[in-house]
């Protein structure tokens, strides 16, 4: 597959354009959507899922929540209150609409080596993980680069194995400006 074919159906939308695009896409047919989301303190964590759920439409909504196992010395532990706030908001967003599964991303090996990239790439082993879904959305806005790049590469590799093309839309959402309350 050439690069032009792989990226020919991708679009860039934001704000009201994104909401309109999602509403049109989700209402055009029954859509079973798998939404992959990083769990954490980042204020952007729930923006993408909220947009998809507000878009409406028929079909199943399934959330795969990526829990980062950062270890006891991670500096992010000081933001536990923000993480709890995001998880509370997430629960209210789901409100019985989404099924949820949690997958663990190990950041460190027992011998102290950083393994986050390999752990992220190994979260999914087969395109069979996604056969029940018409759409797979990977929301990268609250994930570290060391997680989302290998995860996106793995998903593209898995999807490309079917007929040499990506069979389902894969979306990466990025918020370019984060408003962190502690800055």
pLDDT at 164: 52
CATH architecture of 30-172: 3-Layer(aba) Sandwich (3.40)
Model pLDDT for residues 107-129, shown as the tens digit of each residue: 999 999 999 999 999 999 988 88
Listed range (7-16, 60-69, 88-97) with the worst mean pLDDT? 7-16
Residue 95 has a pLDDT of 87
**Domain ranges for the chain:** 30-172
Provide the 10 A C-beta neighbour count for residue 23.
15
pLDDT one-digit tens code per residue, 137-169? 888 888 888 998 999 888 888 877 654 544 455
* pLDDT (mean) for 24-53: 91
Question: Which of 118-122, 173-177, 178-182 is modeled with the greatest confidence?
Answer: 118-122
pLDDT of residue 140: 85
Which range is least confidently modeled, 11-20, 92-101, 104-113, 135-144? 11-20
- The model's confidence at residue 62, banded by pLDDT at 50, 70 and 90, is very high
Closest CA to 64 of 158, 152, 136: 136
Distance between CA atoms of residues 48 and 1, nearest Å: 29
Give the chain as a 3 state SS string: CCHHHHHCCCCCCCHHHHHHHHHHHHHCCCCCEEEEEECCCCCCCCHHHHHHHHHCCCCCEEEEEEEEECCCCCHHHHHHHHHHHHHHHHHHHHCCCEEEEEEEEECECCCCCECHHHHHHCCCCCHHHHCCCCEEEEECCCCCHHHHHHHHHHHHHHHHCCCCCCCCCEEECCCCCCCCCCC
Question: 116 Cβ partners below 8 Å, 6+ apart?
Answer: 68, 105, 106, 107, 108, 144, 146, 147
Length of the chain: 183
Label residue 3 by pLDDT band (50, 70, 90).
low
Query: Do residues 165 and 5 make contact, with C-beta atoms less than 8 angstroms apart?
Result: yes
């Amino acid at each position: 597959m050439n690069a032009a074919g792989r990226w020919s159906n991708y679009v860039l939308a934001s704000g009201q354009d994104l909401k309109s695009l999602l509403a049109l896409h989700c209402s055009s047919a029954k859509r079973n959507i798998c939404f992959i989301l990083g769990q954490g303190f980042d204020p952007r964590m729930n923006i993408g899922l909220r947009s998809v759920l507000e878009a409406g439409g028929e079909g199943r909504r399934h959330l795969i929540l990526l829990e980062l196992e950062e270890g006891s010395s991670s500096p992010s532990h000081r933001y536990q209150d923000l993480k709890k706030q995001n998880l509370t908001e997430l629960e209210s967003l789901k409100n019985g609409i989404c099924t949820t599964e949690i997958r663990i991303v190990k950041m460190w090996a027992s011998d102290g080596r950083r393994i986050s990239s390999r752990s992220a790439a190994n979260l999914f082993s087969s395109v069979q993980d996604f056969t029940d879904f018409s759409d797979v959305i990977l929301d990268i806005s609250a994930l570290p680069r060391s997680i989302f790049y290998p995860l996106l590469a793995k998903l593209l590799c898995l999807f490309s194995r079917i007929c040499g093309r990506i069979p389902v839309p894969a979306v990466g959402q990025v918020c370019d400006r984060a408003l962190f309350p502690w800055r």
